[in-house]
């Protein structure tokens, strides 16, 4: 039996914590009520911006851009360095807010803040490595090169399940690239976003940089929509459902803006007959049941060879039976609440559809603590054994719901892995080098993230993060994802005193 904090305990904890991060909680004002998934109760009430305010915010951000783009990139990096230090100081506070508003267990909430600190480190290094190439010119006495310049105002729209880290992936990189950020966070996690912004605002003040480099606009989808449509937003980075991306992508394209879309996933692990099953079980349980199944990279499908599928299913079911579900801030809890009733209902509906398709529930399902917390939704992570990849399996249900499917030959397993509309993350558990290499190859997984002998979730910031198909095609965070936040100019410099034309063209007057 878990003990859940009362409404007044949790609300006081949230407000005190936000205050410590620099949020002026007495000035929150407004009548939009926020709730915690931990106990389903009210945390506070606050005011939202309306869509009309977006124009003012983008105008202020543009003014900041005009000044910030003149600051040398390594000096911009100094701001991000300080931001990272302040995040480290506030790590536990920010993690508490993530737990209260998104329902993450403490270890994962701290992990999310650590990811923010890590991306700051990465971005500081990047601030001295915004490299352009120099290419050999075909003309004598000429130099051909490219230069990367700041792009402009970056609009960030983010989802509830990574209420802090996604913003920081965008913001740390955008700032060193010379761009200000206007953030429309999830309406479900407002205090976390205000606290993150307050920490950055302190770093901005200390650095003496323009205040409007960071702005946060609390509001609903209409505020996001106004950012999407604003011609002053050079890059719109949107993280959330494919439904949202389908609305946002074409609208940004219509005004020839740039978009970076990080949308839904339906991630699978292929478990081969040669897999180390101990490793596979651990990897699968973390990826499928961790974060209560509410990561974009959560494992939603296991495609297991017929020689191991029964044993694997039994071992997973027994691990699921032992999963400690409860107060995400209590020691020992591994599975916290789902975000709200709608999310829980979607899980129940998916289980009903899967059993209607002939699936068999082999673990979990149903709700815990409904008696003590009728407004909180603690789902028991579920496993459904399926014979075929039916429509419901091909959809993303944002819940701790794992389908297990059998396969006969490895090519068929790859086909199943790829036969869904989403293309975010994938993994293979195998001891067979040829299978691993095939899965990683051009004929293998079609996802943006392809792993061997680890699960689908828990990416590091050093790699580019994102996926193909309905996941949206965007790449954020590490590697060369920074290029999305800058514009490239190609330069030809003639020091020959002559004017030879490229491709041998003769134009002598």
Taking the alpha carbons of 413, 414, 420, 424 in that order, is the dihedral positive or negative? positive
Q: Which two tokens stand for residue 359?
A: 């699936």
Tell me the closest approach of the beta carbon of residue 97 to ligand NAD, in angstroms: 16
492 by DSSP, 3-state: which? Answer: strand
The b-or-e profile of 141-151 (16+ CB within 10 A means b, else e) is ebebeeebebb
Q: Which is nearer to ligand NAD, 244 or 416 (CB)?
A: 244
Tell me the closest approach of the beta carbon of residue 474 to ligand NAD, in angstroms: 8
The answer to the question of residue 154 lying near ligand NAD (CB under 6 A) is no
Tell me the closest approach of the beta carbon of residue 409 to ligand NAD, in angstroms: 30
Q: Which is nearer to ligand NAD, 72 or 250 (CB)?
A: 250
Tell me the closest approach of the beta carbon of residue 159 to ligand NAD, in angstroms: 3
Choose among 410, 418, 503: nearest CA to 467.
Answer: 418
Q: Which two tokens stand for residue 408?
A: 């006969």
User: Where does this chain touch ligand NAD (CB under 6 A) — which range of 63-71, 116-124, 141-149, 159-167?
Assistant: 159-167
Q: Which of 11, 36, 99, 186 binds ligand NAD (CB under 6 A)?
A: 186
CA distance 61 to 178: 12
Tell me the closest approach of the beta carbon of residue 30 to ligand NAD, in angstroms: 17
Tell me the closest approach of the beta carbon of residue 89 to ligand NAD, in angstroms: 26
Tell me the closest approach of the beta carbon of residue 299 to ligand NAD, in angstroms: 12
Tell me the closest approach of the beta carbon of residue 79 to ligand NAD, in angstroms: 25
Task: Count other Cβ atoms within 10 Å, centred on residue 57.
Answer: 25
Name the pairing type of β-strands 258-262 and 267-271.
unpaired
Q: Which long-range contacts (CB under 8 A, 24 or more apart) does 206-212 make?
A: 206/82, 207/78, 207/79, 207/82, 209/68, 209/71, 209/79, 210/63, 210/64, 210/67, 210/68, 210/180, 211/64, 212/57, 212/60, 212/61, 212/63, 212/64, 212/180
The answer to the question of residue 190 lying near ligand NAD (CB under 6 A) is no
Q: Which is nearer to ligand NAD, 223 or 312 (CB)?
A: 223
Q: Which of 46, 213, 296, 379 binds ligand NAD (CB under 6 A)?
A: 296
CA distance 429 to 451: 9
The answer to the question of residue 126 lying near ligand NAD (CB under 6 A) is no
Q: Which is nearer to ligand NAD, 150 or 224 (CB)?
A: 224
Segment 198 to 257, residues that bind ligand NAD, using CB under 6 A:
220-221, 224-225, 228, 239-241, 244, 247-248
Interface pattern 445-484 for ligand NAD (x via CB under 6 A): --------------------------x-------------
The answer to the question of residue 159 lying near ligand NAD (CB under 6 A) is yes
Judge contact between 403 and 384, C-beta under 8 A.
yes
Q: Which residue out of 262, 396, 435, 470 is catalytically annotated?
A: 262
Tell me the closest approach of the beta carbon of residue 404 to ligand NAD, in angstroms: 21
CA distance 288 to 301: 8
Q: Which is nearer to ligand NAD, 68 or 398 (CB)?
A: 398
Residue nearest to ligand NAD (CB): 224
* Spatial CB neighbours of 153, under 8 Å, sequence gap ≥ 6: 58, 61, 62, 65, 179, 180, 181, 182, 232, 233, 234, 235
The answer to the question of residue 273 lying near ligand NAD (CB under 6 A) is no
CA distance 61 to 484: 18
476 by DSSP, 3-state: which? Answer: strand
Q: Which is nearer to ligand NAD, 396 or 435 (CB)?
A: 396
The answer to the question of residue 299 lying near ligand NAD (CB under 6 A) is no
Q: Which is nearer to ligand NAD, 145 or 450 (CB)?
A: 450
CA distance 453 to 420: 22
Q: Which is nearer to ligand NAD, 71 or 236 (CB)?
A: 236
Number of residues located near ligand NAD, criterion CB under 6 A: 29
The answer to the question of residue 157 lying near ligand NAD (CB under 6 A) is yes
CA distance 455 to 412: 20
> DSSP label at 388?
S
* Spatial CB neighbours of 237, under 8 Å, sequence gap ≥ 6: 154, 155, 156, 157, 170, 259, 260, 262, 474, 476, 484
Task: Count other Cβ atoms within 10 Å, centred on residue 494.
Answer: 14
> Would you call 63 a catalytic residue per the annotation?
no
Q: Which of 89, 121, 187, 446 binds ligand NAD (CB under 6 A)?
A: 187
Segment 378 to 407, residues that bind ligand NAD, using CB under 6 A:
396, 398
The answer to the question of residue 183 lying near ligand NAD (CB under 6 A) is no
Q: Which two tokens stand for residue 127?
A: 């601030």
Q: Which is nearer to ligand NAD, 294 or 430 (CB)?
A: 294
Q: Which is nearer to ligand NAD, 417 or 477 (CB)?
A: 477
Segment 415 to 444, residues that bind ligand NAD, using CB under 6 A:
424
Tell me the closest approach of the beta carbon of residue 465 to ligand NAD, in angstroms: 6
Segment 351 to 380, residues that bind ligand NAD, using CB under 6 A:
none
377 by DSSP, 3-state: which? Answer: strand
Choose among 407, 367, 399, 394: nearest CA to 383.
Answer: 399
The answer to the question of residue 112 lying near ligand NAD (CB under 6 A) is no
Site residues (vs ligand NAD, CB under 6 A) = 157-162, 184, 186-187, 220-221, 224-225, 228, 239-241, 244, 247-248, 262-265, 296, 396, 398, 424, 471
Residues involved in catalysis:
262
């Amino acid at each position: 039996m878990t003990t859940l904090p009362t409404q007044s305990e949790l609300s006081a904890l949230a407000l005190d914590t936000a205050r410590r991060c620099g949020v002026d909680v007495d000035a929150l004002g407004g009548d939009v009520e926020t709730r915690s998934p931990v106990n389903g109760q009210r945390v506070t009430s606050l005011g939202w911006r309306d869509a009309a305010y977006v124009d003012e915010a983008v105008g202020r951000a543009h003014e900041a851009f005009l000044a910030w783009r003149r600051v040398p990139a390594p000096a911009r990096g100094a701001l991000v360095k300080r931001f990272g230090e302040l995040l480290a100081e506030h790590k536990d506070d920010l993690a508490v807010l993530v737990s209260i508003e998104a329902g993450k267990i403490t270890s994962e909430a701290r992990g999310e803040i650590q990811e923010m600190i890590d991306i700051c480190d990465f971005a500081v290094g990047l601030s001295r490595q915004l490299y352009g190439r120099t290419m050999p010119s075909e003309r004598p006495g000429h130099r051909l090169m490219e230069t990367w310049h700041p792009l402009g105002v970056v609009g960030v729209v983010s989802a509830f399940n990574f209420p802090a880290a996604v913003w920081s992936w965008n913001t740390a990189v955008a700032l060193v690239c010379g761009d200000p950020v206007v953030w429309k966070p999830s309406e479900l996690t407002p205090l976390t976003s205000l606290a993150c912004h307050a920490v950055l605002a302190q770093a901005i003040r200390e650095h003496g940089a323009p205040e409007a480099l960071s702005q946060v606009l609390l509001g609903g989808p209409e505020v996001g929509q106004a950012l999407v449509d604003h011609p002053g937003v050079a890059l719109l980075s949107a993280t959330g459902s494919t439904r949202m991306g389908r609305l946002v992508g074409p609208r940004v394209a219509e005004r020839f803006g740039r978009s970076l879309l990080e949308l839904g996933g339906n991630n699978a692990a292929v478990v081969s007959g040669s897999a180390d099953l101990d490793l596979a079980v651990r990897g699968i349980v973390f990826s499928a049941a961790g974060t209560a199944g509410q990561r974009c990279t959560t494992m939603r499908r296991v495609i297991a060879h017929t020689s191991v599928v029964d044993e694997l299913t039994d071992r997973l079911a027994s691990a699921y039976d032992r999963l400690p579900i409860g107060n995400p801030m209590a020691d020992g809890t591994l599975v916290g609440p789902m975000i709200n009733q709608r999310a829980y209902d979607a899980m129940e509906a998916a289980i009903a559809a899967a059993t209607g398709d002939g699936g068999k529930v082999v673990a979990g399902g149903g709700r815990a603590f409904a008696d003590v917390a009728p407004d909180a939704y603690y789902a028991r992570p579920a496993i459904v054994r399926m014979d075929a990849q039916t429509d419901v399996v091909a959809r993303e249900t944002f819940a701790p719901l794992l389908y297990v499917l059998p396969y006969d030959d490895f090519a068929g397993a790859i086909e199943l892995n790829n036969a869904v509309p989403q293309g975010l993350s994938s993994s293979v558990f195998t001891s067979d080098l040829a299978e691993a290499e095939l899965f990683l190859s051009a004929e293998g997984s079609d996802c943006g993230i392809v792993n061997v002998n680890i699960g689908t979730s828990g990416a590091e910031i050093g790699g580019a993060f994102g996926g193909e198909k309905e996941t949206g095609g965007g790449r954020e965070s590490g590697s060369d994802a920074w290029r999305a936040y800058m514009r490239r100019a190609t330069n030809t410099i003639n020091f020959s005193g002559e004017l030879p034309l490229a491709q041998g063209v003769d134009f002598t007057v």
